[in-house]
Structure 1
Amino acid sequence: MSADLTRRTLLHLAGAASLAAAAAAAARAEGDPQGGGPTYASRTPMRVGMVTLRVKKLDTVADYYRDVIGLTVMERSGTAAKLGTAGIALLVLEARPEAVIEPRNAAGLYHTAFLMPTRKDLARWLVHAASHRVQLSGFADHLVSESVYLDDPEGNGIEVYADRDPSQWQWSEGSVKMAADELNIPDLLSLTNARVADYAKAPDGLRIGHMHLRVGDLAHAESFYHGTVGLDPTRRRNGAAFLSSGRYHHHLGMNVWQSQGAGQRDGATTGLAWFSLVTEKQDLLAAQEERLRKGGAKVTALANGVEAVDPWGTRVRLLKV
C-alpha cells in the first residue's frame, strides 16, 4: 500500500475525518503526554515493570495483545495468560468470566502505554496496524513522543508510542513541555516500507513506558503517588497530572476527565488488577516502604517488595529486580 493510502486508512480506522480530529482524540486520551526512550526510561531509579488485567474472555484478549501488539504468549492456561517479549513478562491476564466490564467513569486503568525502542519500530507497527485494519482511537505528536491510541476488545486503553531523544525535551521549572499536535504520518512512514507489513512480533526492547490511571481526585492521587510512593511531578494541567522517576516525562499519568468523584473500585469488574514499579536499589525500596507505612497506606509484604493500595483500590507493587 502507498503512504497516502496508509494515511487514509489510518484516518478511517481512527474514525476521524482529518489528522486534526485524530490529534484531538489523542489529546483527550493523554491530555498532553510525552516520552523518553526505553533505554532512558529503563535507566531511571524506578520504572514500570508489568501490568495485570482482569478480563472476561481470556483467549480473545490474549490473542489481541499477541496479534496486534506483537507480544509473545509465554504461559497460558484456562485461568491466566502471561505475555511479554524477549523473555520479559509485561502483561498478565487473569480470567474473570463472570466479571462486569468496568465502567469508564470508575477509577482504574485509562491506558497501558507500550514504548517502542525506536521511531522506526513505531512506523513498522503502524503499517502492521493498518494492514490488519486494527481499529484506532487517535494519534498525535506530543513533542517529546509520537503516539497511537487504541482499545483492547474489553475497552482497556492502549497507547503505542516512541520517544524523541530526551535532549529535545523542554523543561522549565520542573515541568516538561508537551502538546497534542498532528502526527506527521508520511514522515513517520518514510522510515519503513509502507507497502510491506514486516512487524511479525514486538521488538525485544519493547517495554511498558508508562501507566495512565483514572482517579477520583487529583490532589489525593498526587498525595499518594508523589508524597507516599515517591514519584516526582513533571506536569499538571486540564484535570491531569504526570509523575516520573529520574526526569522521565512520566511513568505515571492520572486524570479525572471521566472519573471525578469516583469512589472505591469494584473488585468484581474487569480492568486493572495491579501494576508494578520496579527498582534495582534496595535502599530506594526500603524508603518507599517506610513512606507507605508512615502514610497509613494499606501495605502487604511480598517476596521481593511490597504491595500498596491507592485511595481508589488500585494496587501498585513496588518491587526490587
Structure 2
Amino acid sequence: MMKIDKIILKVKDIDKMTAFYENVLGMKVRKQSREETELGTDRDTLLILKTNSKINYRKPETANLYHVAYLLPERTDLAGFLKHIIEIKFEGVGAADHLVSEAIYLNDPEGNGIEIYADRKEDNWKYDKNGDVIMETLELNANELYYLSSNSDFRMPVGTKVGHVHMQGIDIPAIRKFYEDILLLNKTSVMPKAVFLSYDGYHHHFAFNHWDSRISKPGEENDSGLEMIEYEVDSERFEHIKNNAQKILKYPDLDIKDGYFMINDLNNVKLRIYNRN
C-alpha cells in the first residue's frame, strides 16, 4: 500500500498562488494564515503553500519540480476540468494521451508544473518485453473529452489525490538507485534521461528527468518550489525504509514521532514517510 497524501510548495506570492489554486484548479481553501494555505477537496488536504520573507524564486539551473500530478476519480471529472479551463480562457494549456492515462498540463503563477489526469483501467495497460509499462505522449482526443461533461463549474472532487510527483534531477542513475535501494520503489519505465518508479505496479508514483540541460545543482532551502512530499506506506515497507535510512544513509538517531520520519532525497526535497496502519 502506498498513498501520496500531500505536497508542500514554497511560494513567493501566497495570495496570488492561493487564488490560482482556488479559481483555476478548483481547490477548496481548507485553512489559511498569513504564511500558509492548505488546499484540497471538501475532505482532504492535497497541497500546502508556505511563504516567508526569505523565499526567492528558484533559479533555472536548480533541480526541483517538473510537475505534481493530481489524479481525478473519473474521466468525466477530467472532462469537467477541460471545459472549465476553456471557458475561463486559461492560456498555456497542454494535453496528452499517455495510453495509461489522459492528462492536461499547465503551470501555476510561479512556474510549478501541474498535471491533472485520469487513469485508464489497469486491465488496458500494456507492457514491453522487459515488463515496463508502455507510456506514450500522443494527442489527446480533446473533442471527445469536452463533450463528456455538461458542467463547467469545476470543483476538485472528493477522491482526488496526488497521483504522482515528477521531478527534475541531475544524476538520474544515482537518483534511481536512491529511490530503489532506500525507498524500495520499482522501476516501471525508462526513457532517455528519465526514469519512472512506483510501488505495487502502478505506472508511476515518482519520476525524474534531466531533459533541461541547464539543471546543474540541487535546490536550496530558500528557493521557491517543492519543499516536501508526504506519503504513507504499509508497516513492512516503513520498517525496511527506516532501517535503510539508518544503515545506508547513516541516520543513526532517526527521529520517529507521530508515526513518521523524514529524510532528504538527492534534490534536497524532504520526504515525510508515514505508517498509519
Q: TM above 0.5, one fold?
A: yes
Query: Take 1:300 and 1:51, find their aligned partners in 2: how far apart are those partners?
Result: 21
Q: Distance in 2 between matches of 1:72 and 1:320?
A: 26
SS across alignment from 1:182: coil
- For residues 60-91 of structure 1, give each alpha carbon's deviation from its aligned partner in whole angstroms, at most 9, with x where no partner exists: 10111111111111110001011111321110
For 2:139, the equivalent position in structure 1 comes to: 182
Instruction: Determine which structure has the larger helix proportion and give its number.
Output: 1
Query: Corresponding residue for 2:49?
Result: 93
Match of 1:285, SS state, is helix
Deviation at 1:232, TM superposition (A): 0.8
**Structure 2 counterpart of 1:51, one-letter code:** I
* 1:254 maps onto 2:211 in alignment: no
Give the aligned partner of residue 221 of structure 1. Answer: 175
- Alignment gaps of 5+ in structure 2: none
Cα deviation code 1:170-214 (max 9, x no counterpart): 023320001001111111122112xx5231x11101111000011
Q: Deviations over 1:35-57 (max 9, x none)?
A: xxxxxxxxxx1121110000011
Q: CA deviation at 1:300?
A: 4.6
Deviation, 1:302, is 3.8
Tell me how far 1:261 sits from its aligned partner.
6.2
Query: What's 1:168 paired with?
Result: 124
Matched residue, 1:13: none
Q: Matches of 1:62 and 1:101 in 2, distance apart?
A: 17
Q: 1:162, CA displacement in angstroms?
A: 0.7
Give the secondary structure class of the aligned counterpart of 2:181. helix
Question: 2:270 aligned with 1:310, yes or no?
Answer: no
- What is the CA-CA distance between 1:297 and the residue it aligns to? 5.6
Q: Give TM-score scaled by structure 2 length.
A: 0.94
Return closer, same or farther for 1:317/1:73 CA change in 2, 3 Å cut-off.
same
- The two structures, once aligned, show a CA RMSD in angstroms of 1.6
Moved more, 184-193 or 247-256: 184-193
> In structure 1, what is the equivalent of residue 59 of structure 2?
103
Look up the equivalent residue of 1:249 and give its one-letter code.
H
User: Structure 2 vs 1, CA of residues 153 and 261 (structure 1 numbering), >3 Å: closer, same or farther?
Assistant: closer
CA, structure 1 residues 179+216, in 2 after alignment: closer, same or farther (shift >3 Å)? Answer: same
Separation (CA, whole Å) in 2 of partners of 1:300 and 1:107: 27
One-letter code aligned to 1:211:
V
Q: Match of 1:202, as an amino acid?
A: M
CA contact (8 A) 2:56 2:222 kept: yes
Aligned with 2:24: secondary structure? helix
Letter matched to residue 290 of structure 1? N
Structure 1 residue 117 corresponds to structure 2 residue 42: no
- Cα 1:85/1:275, change in 2 over 3 Å: same
| Aligned 8 A contact 1:116 1:122 in 2 | yes
CA contact (8 A) 1:117 1:206 kept: yes
The residue aligned with 1:206 is: 160
Unpaired segments ≥5 residues, structure 1: 1-44
Aligned-residue offset at 1:260: 6.9
Q: Which amino acid aligns with 1:282?
A: S
Deviations along 1:130-182, one digit per CA (max 9) or x if unpaired, are 11112234111111111111110111110011110100100233200010011
- Please list, as runs of the form range in 1=range in 2, the aligned pairs for 1:1-321 lying within 5 A after superposition: 45-172=1-128, 173-193=130-150, 197-199=152-154, 201-258=155-212, 262-279=216-233, 281-296=234-249, 300-321=255-276
Cα distance, 1:228 vs. partner? Answer: 0.7
Partner amino acid, structure 1, of 2:170: G
Whether the 8 Å CA contact 2:61–2:217 is kept in 1: the answer is: no
- Seq. identity, %: 32
Any runs of at least 4 consecutive aligned residues in structure 1 with deviations exceeding 4 A, and if so which?
297-300
1:7 aligned residue? none
Change (3 A) 1:296 1:230: same
1:156 partner letter? N
Normalised TM-score (structure 1): 0.81
In 2, Cα distance between the equivalents of 1:305 and 1:88?
Answer: 19
Return 162-171 or 95-104, whichever deviates more: 95-104
Given that 2:11 and 2:50 are in contact with CA atoms closer than 8 Å, whether structure 1 keeps it comes out as: yes
